Chain A
């Protein structure tokens, strides 16, 4: 059949037409109903590196926190300086023994489908979350809930098995303790497998969504609080950082914000043109070096201190982050609850001091050699960093040369993030880059992971003389009911951890934002995970 010239020709033509038509078919199919109108007024366009994921208040990755926070709201909101303010709960009472929490709910709140927000739906959400305790056990108070009760239509009561002071603060997190409307629940009630509809009480409602392409949120016209100024927000999914910047320059985007979503060089370059507005947030977390004191060379406090004295932190942070991060003096940022006045020793760059500390510790520099030795052993340690994070990499390289100058041989090893965490947990590291969780999780979550065995921090402080005492104090903090006592404990624990040098604060991590000149009222929320869109508007 293939011999005839004509039939062959026919076949070729058919194949070609098929190829071409499938191509065109693909085009038309994709353009159906998509192609958002660019002339859409009063719509703020932003870019996000990942798809927003399922809008379900009770699940984690790949759902994006900022999107969940646009639709769902907490009982308590975390504000500037760690202040906890009423949100869906008007007020709350805590019993003397710190076990019973009674919440008085706002009466004027409606879900976006018009149903009312009341104690019943709060209980339903809590009970659903409690059915999946294993999934949510990372959040301390979840595992301590004994009972959830509806007192009356607008009063909800939470009873804990033991006093746990961070309960109120943990209610401010974006997931999982936010509230889904009745119609959103699946038939079997198990939201961990998905929701029927994303119905929340928040200022935004999902209007249109295309996986991996974009999502459009529209204003919830029945919102109980301050109505957003913008009618719509379009979130475009642009995974590549350079492409985000190009789309922004072209004017296809009004705003890019987040942590590490804009390359620092690009940020600086755009800022220098003067055509755009930029903004940098308060510290959201601390970049830390965690030193494993179970390693022989690092078990001596003087060696750890010498490492801290031995590098110019200010120049390092300024040089590598172009000033978008700030030199950190303390292991937790000072704008968190209970961290304002920690009396820990602030260590400043002092090479001579570093050298004398090492001499004192018995690590001498043999003639003609560049690496210090003790009993024939060289002072050689390894620093692990996330190979995908250029800031960590450059910092590691700088430390290598700075510590080289005081006679410490630093080997640096870049690993993938998952491996970094794994090795950190398995205690297979000398020095590691890490950071705390940030607002609204700290300071108690940070101390909690120091307490938990099988996580790098716990091992890191092994050489501390007072480790046992420290861990006891850490376990005591959440149970305190007296504000003053709690502050005292925090002050003494954080000071002790920092002063013995197993955790070196490097820099305070901040969020960056860049937006077009006609965007006004952009402010970063105090909660690291919350969206910043409520007050924002575009000048007409």
Chain B
């Protein structure tokens, strides 16, 4: 197990190097010169002299390979440079905004899990029943409604009309409800369907028949055997979405004025605040890798057959 985790952690390194390569290269692909972007953001009249000085400061006059090595060295020390707009360390700015974003992401995962597991499971077990139809409609809606529109609809009905929740901002748990549900709905749509399909497939497996012939209580079969195995694809899905969820908060954060990481990123894009954009891309890449790793580990706990194949050679 330990070696497995170690191996996986090692495999982060090449992905990190590639991501760093992309973010360094990004500057050269953009039509806007970072030195000019800096001066524009800082409201300084660009003269050739200042431009040259800034290019030197950013290391843009050096060969690409040197720039690449330099940026890797700096990133390893968590030095993402200084924001062109606020003149503060990018890392500090980002770190101060991450907790609220994580809060939002966790809230929506929690809602998604709490709703889609019972719903997907029941829809699979009681195929073509009322609850199955309901889950189908919910999934259909969740998959097809874009989240910004859903956000507005929620605000309009639950906040403006019914006055149950505040329109925007953070602070209390009431503030968390609408944005988390908005983020959770597309997830619920996917997971409910995934789980339902998986449950249906497992019901056809010989082990269910054996269990029944052994006279085991139907409820025990479903809860202890079918659900345990059927939930596996859903967890894979969840892991793939974990990274996406943190980056996917961008739109929801804008709609609900959530003061998080995603909103900060949008502003950085508009201001061409290149160090912030680079930092975001790197963090997103690392998030994807780490969340996939976590999911693999969870899967091993739940279905030991997987870990026997991979992890427990010794």
Chain A residues with a Cβ under 8 A of chain B: 1-3, 8, 11-12, 15, 19-20, 22-23, 26-27, 29-31, 34-35, 50, 53, 60-62, 134-135, 137-138, 193, 210-214, 236-240, 242-243, 246-247, 249-250, 252, 388, 417-419, 421-422
Q: How far is the CA of A27 from the CA of B175 in the complex (A)?
A: 9
Question: Is B167 on the interface with A (CB-CB < 8 A)?
Answer: yes
A214 and B171 alpha carbons, distance in the complex (Å): 12
Tell me whether A8 and B254 are in contact in the complex, defined as CB-CB below 8 angstroms, given that A61-B85, A246-B156, A422-B32 are known contacts: no
Q: Which of B268-314 touch A at CB < 8 Å? A: 270-272, 298, 300-302, 304, 307
**Shortest distance between the CB of A304 and any CB in chain B (Å):** 28
CB proximity to A under 8 Å, residues B169-190: 169-173, 176
Indicate which residue in B43, B99, B254, B256 contacts A26 across the interface (CB closer than 8 Å). B99
Minimum CB–CB distance from B137 to chain A (whole Å) comes to 26
User: Top 5 A-B pairs ranked by shortest CB distance?
Assistant: A212-B259, A60-B43, A26-B103, A247-B167, A35-B171
Size of the chain B interface, CB-CB below 8 angstroms:
58
**Cα-based distance from A31 to B174 in the complex (angstroms):** 11
Given contacts A23-B106, A138-B45, contact A243 B155 (CB under 8 A): yes
Chain B residues near A388 (CB-CB < 8 A): 270
Q: Which positions 39-85 of chain B face chain A at CB distance < 8 Å?
A: 40-45, 50, 85
Beyond A2-B307, A26-B100, whether A11 also contacts B85 by CB under 8 A is no
Q: Are B171 and A239 in contact (CB under 8 A)?
A: no
> Given the complex of chains A and B, what is the CA–CA distance between A418 and B259 in angstroms?
25
Cα A26 to Cα B109 in complex, Å, equals: 15
Q: Are B42 and A60 in contact (CB under 8 A)?
A: yes
Chain B positions within 8 Å of A, measured between CB atoms, are 1, 31-32, 36-37, 40-45, 50, 85-87, 96-97, 99-100, 102-103, 106-107, 109-110, 152, 155-156, 159-160, 163, 166-173, 176, 254-257, 259, 263-264, 266-267, 270-272, 298, 300-302, 304, 307
- Inter-subunit contact A137/B176 (CB<8 Å): no
B165 CB to closest chain A CB (Å) equals: 10
Contact A246–B257 (Cβ < 8 Å):
no
Asked whether A240 and B255 contact (CB < 8 A) given A62-B85, A134-B44, the answer is yes
A residues less than 8 Å from B103 (CB atoms): 23, 26-27, 30
Residues A26 and B167 in contact in the complex (CB < 8 Å), given A50-B267, A211-B259: no
Residues on the A chain within 8 Å of B106, using CB: 19, 22-23, 26
CB-CB under 8 A from B169, the residues of chain A are: 213-214, 236
In the complex, the answer to whether B40 meets A418 with C-beta atoms within 8 Å is yes
User: What are 12 of the A-B contact pairs (CB < 8 Å)?
Assistant: A2-B304, A2-B307, A8-B302, A19-B110, A30-B170, A31-B171, A61-B43, A61-B85, A61-B271, A62-B86, A240-B254, A250-B163
Q: What residues on A are CB-neighbors of B1 within 8 Å? A: 1-2
Contact A61–B110 (Cβ < 8 Å):
no
Closest CB in chain A relative to B199 CB, distance in Å = 20
Contacts of A8 in B (CB 8 A): 301-302
Cβ A243 vs Cβ B160 within 8 A:
no
A93 to B19, CA, bound (A): 62
Q: Which residue of A lies closest to B43 (CB)?
A: A60
Could you tell me if A61 and B42 are in contact, using CB atoms closer than 8 angstroms?
yes
Identify the interface centre among A2, A23, A237: most chain B CB within 10 Å of its CB.
Answer: A23
CB of B168 within 8 A of CB of A134, answer: no
Write the nearest CB–CB distance from A245 to chain B, whole angstroms.
Answer: 10
Do B167 and A23 touch across chains, with their CB atoms under 8 A apart?
no
Closest to B86 in A: A62
Known: A19-B106, A26-B106, A29-B99. 7 other contacts (CB 8 A): A23-B107, A26-B99, A34-B170, A60-B43, A134-B45, A243-B256, A246-B167
A27 touches B41 (CB 8 A): no
| Residue among B31, B50, B301 making CB contact with A11, cutoff 8 Å | B301
Kindly report which residue of chain A lies nearest to residue B48, judged by CB atoms: A454
CB distance from A193 to the nearest CB of B (A): 7
Contacts of B270 in A (CB 8 A): 388, 417
Q: Which single residue of chain A is at the shortest CB-CB distance from B107?
A: A23
